[in-house]
Amino acid sequence: MRTLLETLLCATVVACGGSRERDPQAPPPARPVTGIDVPPGSTLQQAIDAAPAGATLLLQAGEYRGPFVIEKPLHVWGPPTAVLNAVDGSTLSVKADHVTLAGFTVAGSGQRFDLMDGGVHLQGDDLTIEGVVVRDTLFGILVERCNRATVRGNTVIGTGLPAMGLRGDGIRLWETNDSEVVGNTVRDSRDVVVWYSSRNHLADNTVTGSRYGTHFMYSHDNVCEHSRYVGDEVGIFVMYSHGIVLRRNLLARSGGAAGIGIGLKESGDIAVEDSWLLDNTTGLYIDSAPLDPDHHNHYLRNVLRFCETAVAMHASAKRSEFKDNQFGDNGAVVKVGGQGDALACEFVGNWYDTYQGYDLDGDGRGDVPFEFRRLSTQIEARYPELAILHGAPAMGMVDLVGEVLPLFAPRRLMQDPAPRLRPTAMAFSPEVDRAR
Amino acid sequence: MTALRFTRPSHLGAVLAVSVLAACGGRNASMQGGGAGSDVLSLMQSRNLSEQDVNAALKTYTPTGRFDEYYTFASGGHGGNLIVIGVPSMRILKYVAVFTPEPWQGFGYGDESGDVIKGVTKGGNQLTWADMHHPAISETGGDYDGKWIFVNDKCNPRVAVVDLSDFTTKQIVGSDLIVSEHGAVFVTPETDYVIETSQYPAPLGGGYAPIEQWNDKYRGAMIFWRFDKQKGRIVPEQSFAIELPPYMQDLADCGKKVSDGWVFCNSIDTERAYGGTLEGNPPLESGATQNDMDYLHCINWRQAEALAKAGKTETIAGMRVIRLQTAIDDNLLAFVPEPKSPHGVDITPDGAEVVVGGKLDTHTTVYDIKKIVAQMAEKKYVGKDPYGVPILDFKGSIRGQCEIGLGPLHTSFDDKGFAYTSVFIETVIAKWSLKDLKVVQKIDTHYNVGHLVTAEGDTVSPDGKYLIAMNKWSLDRFAPVGPLLPQNFQLIDISGDQMQLLYDMPLPLGEPHYAQMIKADKIKPVDVYKPIGMNPVTHEVDPSATVGGKERIERKPDGVHVYMTAIRSHFSPDIVRVKEGDVVHLHVTNVEQARDATHGLAIGGQNINVSLEPGKHCNVTFVANRAGVWPFYCTEFCSALHLEMAGYLLVEPK
C-alpha cells in the first residue's frame, strides 16, 4: 500500500517540480521599442561606457565577450540567444542604481571561489534582472548590498558537479533588503542564499537538485511562498532569523541522511502554513526554535507525508503550535533528541493516519487524545544503529509487544487532545503540471 | 517471525532480551543488590533509567581507589586557568592556576609562583585574567610525551608553560608584536617551537594607526616561540615571527611526519572588513563572511627558521620578524582558498593531509599537502593576493570534500581511519571515513558543540576510544543555576562502530575551548617536592630554604627575614615580631615528605595565602604597613591539630 502511494506521490512530485525541461517558465521579456543596437562582438563594454545614463542597449543574437561592468543607470535587453560570456572574473558586474538587465543569456565565468566569480553580480539600489538565463558559471546571480532589487523570472543552471562544495550559489542575497525574488528557477546549484537580508519577498521560485533550496541566515521579516523545492538536500533552512513566513510551498524528496524539508535553528516567530512536505527524510527539523522567550512558532495546515520522521526535534521544543496539519504514512510522527519530548508543544486538531480513537459526539474530533509513544522509535532513539531496521517486521514486533505488554510503557512523546477524524482540505495544492 | 532478517542479530537480540526481561521482569533476573529496592531493575525503574543509560553508567563509573584511563586538559577560556579531568569518570582532578590568581594554589596571593603571572604586563597594566583557548601537550616524534603543556591567552597575547611533573605554571611569555591572537598554541613535532598566531590585525609592535589605514598599516604575524626542552623554558631571544597580511588569522596546526617542517593556518576576513556600524559600514560579521572563501596559509617553517638564523629579520618590539616581502621572495608562504569562514585546520595522523572545516560550509575539505608543496616548488600559482602572496589553485590542492552538515568546525582522529568533526550549527558530531570521505554516523550534542577532542587525536598515533564534545550551551541539561549556565562536556564512546553518548559533565569553571586527552600512564608527576626546600618556580632548592632546627628571624638592611618551617602541626617560628613599616621577607619551607601533607599559610590583613606542598619552599615579601596583631595560620586541613597550626605576626607601632 505504502509503496504504491509513494510511487504515485513521487510521480506527482516529479511532474510538478522535478522536470528538467520546464525552464524558462515565462516568455522572455519583450524587446523595448527604442534603444541603441549593440551588435555581437567586443564592443559591448564600449557601448556601455558611451551610453548616456538611463539609455537602453539592445543586444542581438550572438556572443559578447566579457567581463563587463556597468557603473551608471542603464537598461540592457537581449534575446535569449544573445550570450554574454567570460573566462575570468564575474561576467557582468553592476555597480550603480537603476539598472535593468533583461532577456539575454550569461554563459561562463571565472572559476575562482575566492573571488566569487559569478554570472551576474549586482550592487546598487533599484536594480532589476529579469528573464535572464545564467549557466556554466561558478556563482549564478549575486545580489549584494541592494535595496529594492527585482530578481524575476530568471533561470540559473548550476554546474551539477557531484561535489556540492565545488558548486557555487545559484542566487545569493547579501545585505539586501526590500527586494522581490519571484518566478526564478534554480537547478543543480549549491544554495539559494538569503543572508543578512530582511523584508524580502520570495515567491513562485523553483529550486531543484541543489543543497539548500533557500537558506535564511540572520535575515528577518522575509516571506517565502508558492515555491517548490524538490530533490534538494534541504528545502528551506532558517537560522538565527525571526519573523519569517513560509506558506504554500512544496518541499519534496529532500533526501539523504540529512534530508530536511524545512529546518529551523534558533529562529522564532516563524509561520509554516499550507505547505506540502512530502517524502523528505525529515519533514520538519526543529533545533532550539524558538529560542527567544517572546517568540512563538506556528505550523498550520501543512501536509506531512511519506517522511521517515515528520517532525524531528533536537531537544524538547516549546512555544510551538501544530494545528490542522496532516500526518500520514510517516515512519514516526515525532522524534526528539536528548531524551526529550514534544509535550510542551501544542498539537491540536491535526489528522493522524494512525489514530485509532472514535468520535461519538460527531464533532469531527476524536473523543480520546492521540498520543505518539511508539516503542520502536524510542528504542531507535536510544540505539541509533537500529534505524537500519526502521519499518522492518522486527521493529513492528517490538511495537506490538509494547502494546500488548503494558509493562513496557513506552514514553509519550506528544499528545493531541482533539485529533481530527478527517484531514482538513488544503487551501493550496501544487499544480499538477505547471508547464502544460 | 522474521528474526533471521536481522543484520545485527546479537545487538538487537540483546535489546529485545533486556526489554523482555524488563517486561517479564523480574527480580529473578536481577543482579546482586543491597536488599529490597536496590536490585538493578528496581533501580532502573525508580530512577527511570533505560538499558542504554545503565550501559553508559557501567562504562564511566569509576569506583573508589580506581584511576581514570586518560587525562583531559581543557582550557579554562576566560577563566584563564587550566582544568584537568579524568576520563571516563569525568571527575575534575585539578584546576591549574595559569593566568588567573588562584588562592588554593597560592597563585597570585603572595609567593613567587604568583609573580609568574605578573611577568608580562600590557602597557604597564597588570593582567589578572586571560582568555585561554588551546592547550598543547609537548610532543616527541609527533606524539604526546606528557612533559609540558602550553596554553595561550587570546586577549593579551601570552603563552604559558605548565610543567606536568608538578602541574604548575613555570613561565609566561608575551610579545608586544601583536595585540591579540587565536592560532595558539600548537607545537612542532619535536616541540622545538610553540606557535602563536595573531587574530585581530593591528600595527605590528603596537601603536596607533587610523582603522581606515587597515590595508596598509595593519598586519598579522605568526610567532615561533623557541622552546628549550632541557630547561623546560621558552627562550624569547631565540624566537622569531613571520609578518602576515591583515586578515584575521585563525587556528593552525603543525605538519608532522611527511609534512614535518610545515605549518598551516587558516584565516577569516580576507575581505579586510573592520566593522563601523555607526559609520555606514556593514557589521564585521557580515563584512567578514561575504567572500565564499578565505585563505589557508601554508608556511614552510623550517625555511623560516633558516632565514631567521641567517638574520634576514627586522626586530619589532623585541621580536625578530621575517617581513612579508621576504617571506614571499623566499617562497616560504603561499595561500590556498578554503571554504567559508574556516575554523578548524587539523592535520591527519599520517601528516599527509589537512582537514579544514568552514563555519558556514557543509563540508570538510581535505587538502593534499603533497600537492600544495609541489605547486609551491613549481611556483604554479593562479594569482596573488593584494600583498603579493601567491595563491594556489583550490581544486588542484585538495583530495576532496566530505559532506558533513552545516557548520563543521574542528576535526579529530581515531586509530581506525575515522575522523570526527564537530558541527556547530547542526549541533552534532559527525564520524566520517578519511578514506572515502563519507559520513558513517552523526550523534546529537546538547548544545552547539565547539571543539571536540579524541584520545591523543591530534598526534601521529591517536587512540580512539573516547571523544569529548565541548558544548558551548547547556540550556536544559542541568539543574538551573541562574542565568549564567555551565558548559556541557559530553563524553562519547567511539570504540565501537557507532558512537554512544556516555556522560554529561557540567563545566562551570570558565568557558573551555580546546582540550588535549592523553593516556594516563604518560603523565608521571612527582608526589612531593624533593629535595626539601625546592622552589617550584626555579625547580631548585631555594637558597633561603631552611630545615628543622635552623629556623630564625634576622634583621638585615633590606628588612626582616623570617626563615620558617611548616610541619604537622606548627609553624616555627610561630611568633614573628616586626615594626610597623618593616619589609618582611618570609621564607617558609614545608619540611614534610609525606604525600598530601600540604599546608597553607595565610596572614591576616595582607592578602597573603600560599600553598606549601610537601618539600616546597616559598618566599613571600610584604610590608607590615599596619600596626596590629595579625594571626597567621594553616589554611589546608592537615591534621587533627590543624586548627592549632597558627601563630602571630605582631606589628608594633612606630
Condensed to tens digits (0 to 9), the pLDDT of residues B484-525 reads: 999 999 999 999 999 999 999 999 999 999 999 999 999 999
Q: Which residues of A touch B442 (CB under 8 A)?
A: 257-258
Chain A contact probe: residue of B12, B15, B48 with most A CBs at under 10 A:
B12
Choice among A348-357, B254-263, B287-296, B449-458 with the minimum mean pLDDT: B287-296
The pLDDT, as a whole number, for residue B121 is 82
- CB proximity under 8 Å: B 351-380 to A: 360-363, 365
Check CB contact of B42 with chain A, cutoff 8 Å.
no
Percent of chain B whose predicted confidence (pLDDT) is above 70: 94
**Residues A343/A414, Cβ–Cβ less than 8 Å:** yes
Q: Which residues of A touch B293 (CB under 8 A)?
A: 113-114
Chain A contact probe: residue of B362, B426, B503 with most A CBs at under 10 A:
B362
* Distances A115 to A118, B295, B394 between C-alpha atoms, Å: 9, 11, 12
Helical H segments across A289-392, by residue range: 375-382
Please tell me the distance in Å from B446's CA to the nearest CA on chain A: 7
Per-residue confidence in pLDDT tens, chain A, 436 aa: 344 444 444 444 444 443 333 444 578 899 999 999 999 976 899 999 999 999 999 999 999 998 999 999 999 999 999 999 999 999 999 999 999 999 999 999 999 998 999 999 999 999 999 999 999 999 999 999 999 999 999 999 998 888 888 899 999 999 999 999 999 999 999 999 999 999 999 999 999 999 999 999 999 999 999 999 999 999 999 999 999 999 999 999 998 768 999 999 999 999 999 999 999 999 999 999 999 999 999 999 999 999 999 999 999 999 999 999 999 999 999 999 998 999 999 999 999 999 999 999 999 999 999 999 866 556 665 555 555 555 566 666 666 665 555 445 678 899 999 999 999 888 877 764 343 2
In the A/B pair of chains, how many CB contacts fall below 8 A?
130
Single-letter amino acid, residue A191 = D
The pLDDT, as a whole number, for residue A401 is 62
Check CB contact of B427 with chain A, cutoff 8 Å.
yes
Condensed to tens digits (0 to 9), the pLDDT of residues B547-588 reads: 999 999 999 999 999 999 999 999 999 999 999 999 999 999
- CA–centroid distance for B349 within its chain: 20
Q: Which residue of B has its CA nearest to A172?
A: B290
Q: Which residue of A has its CA nearest to B383?
A: A112
Helical H segments across A94-252, by residue range: none
Q: Which residues of A touch B51 (CB under 8 A)?
A: 382
The pLDDT, as a whole number, for residue A248 is 96
The pLDDT, as a whole number, for residue A183 is 97
Instruction: Note the ipTM here.
Output: 0.83
**Residues A325/A302, Cβ–Cβ less than 8 Å:** yes
Q: Which residues of B touch A380 (CB under 8 A)?
A: none
The pLDDT, as a whole number, for residue A255 is 86
Inter-chain residue contact B286 with A408, CB threshold 8 Å: no
Q: CA-CA distance, B552 to B607, in Å (whole number)?
A: 24
At B575, list the grid cell: 611568633
Please tell me the distance in Å from A2's CA to the nearest CA on chain B: 20
Q: CA-CA distance, B390 to B384, in Å (whole number)?
A: 4
Question: What three-state secondary structure class fits B515?
Answer: strand
Please tell me the distance in Å from B367's CA to the nearest CA on chain A: 14
**Residues A204/A219, Cβ–Cβ less than 8 Å:** no
Condensed to tens digits (0 to 9), the pLDDT of residues B434-477 reads: 999 999 999 999 999 999 999 999 999 999 999 999 999 999 99
Is residue B213 pLDDT above 90, yes or no?
A: yes
Please tell me the distance in Å from B489's CA to the nearest CA on chain A: 14
At B334, list the grid cell: 603561499
Widest distance between CA atoms in chain B:
98
